[in-house]
Structure 1
């Protein structure tokens, strides 16, 4: 029995995100290959209060005592397509001033902002959120990934939780 096309696409994208060092880079290549848009990936900030990391997240980020972290909640957009919703908890003190400025003031995706750090991405969890036989709507949550970003020498600087939406499957390639 052949799997529905959307099931195979979800599996392929999930594996690429798990294997790639940057969700931003994976999504930009995915958008180009799928013909989603010629537009650059953008991180549109979502309104709301900053959310503090959980104790477990603070531990994974090696934050001790009352060491501060920052939170950035965005939807990643490629042209008119909302691909995912991402929550980034990051340690501003481990980034450059220019990186912190870009994260606070621009719509540049996190992965592009911190690219100079040569981040290593470790997947913490993957959850399936869509298992229907019918193709998903553009807004349907497909799967989520939690990951930890660290420098090549192992210093963690960000934990991210991403929820990928049906729009990420669009295109013709």
Structure 2
């Protein structure tokens, strides 16, 4: 069963390891699609209800056995650059000529990149020591600026991939439940959050766009498809 979803293969990894899970091939049937949707909705709810994406992903990694060592680490992508999204200066409360810096960090569990965070921040609202640490280390932004006691305001949370078509819950149960041997194509990014970080005085310091990869679905154990 296919719903016309142009996509990329599941595993978005760093270097292969004999001690890490291999590529999980989800089968293209209603059972797999319902399971994938349930997992994405569960992860989305957890991310929205907890302040730390790193700790949420670490819990997710351990619960679903994504790696032997369920520990999530941040890896800054040096030299990365991206223009400000439309409307970002208004969201950050800055003028046309105010400086904005860009930082990209990947959150990695084992050999799997689970998310990529694009971060545009206002250096004039941070201390010199904070700016130096952001420029020279891999330390996550939130940890660097934690002394500001910032809060996070979520602007949007969007599923980038819909495993099931609109209105599927009102349709009869398909006859192909868990009977396909065809691999399910899943796009490279499946979920995206957009948020602003603000000081207690409501001064925006950062706009962050977090794109979660298909590796959040790279569960170690898959149930085999039943032959027709």
Q: TM-score by structure 2 length?
A: 0.64
- Greater than 4 Å deviation, 4+ residue runs: 133-137
Structure with greater helix percent: 1
Of stretches 155-164 and 91-100 in structure 1, the one that deviates more from structure 2 is: 91-100
> Which residue number in structure 1 is paired with residue 143 of structure 2?
112
> Which residue number in structure 2 is paired with residue 142 of structure 1?
190
> Which residue number in structure 2 is paired with residue 9 of structure 1?
39
Q: 1:46 to 1:119 in 2, by over 3 A?
A: same
> Which residue number in structure 2 is paired with residue 100 of structure 1?
131
Map 1:3-42 → 2, pairs under 5 A: 4-36=34-66, 37-42=69-74
Q: Which runs of 5+ in 2 are unaligned?
A: 1-29, 165-182, 222-228
Structure with greater strand percent: 1
| 1:164 corresponds to 2:220 | no
Match of 1:88 among 97, 119, 136: 119
Q: Which runs of 5+ in 1 are unaligned?
A: none
Give the root-mean-square deviation of aligned CA atoms. 2.7
Per-residue deviation, residues 147-167 of structure 1 (Å, max 9, x unmatched): 111123322101011111111
**Partner Cα separation in structure 2 for residue 76 and residue 35 of structure 1:** 16
CA contact (8 A) 2:105 2:117 kept: yes
Q: TM-score by structure 1 length?
A: 0.81
**Partner Cα separation in structure 2 for residue 105 and residue 89 of structure 1:** 16
CA contact (8 A) 1:145 1:163 kept: yes
Q: 1:111 to 1:136 in 2, by over 3 A?
A: farther
| Higher RCO by CA contacts (8 Å cutoff, separation 6 or greater) | 2
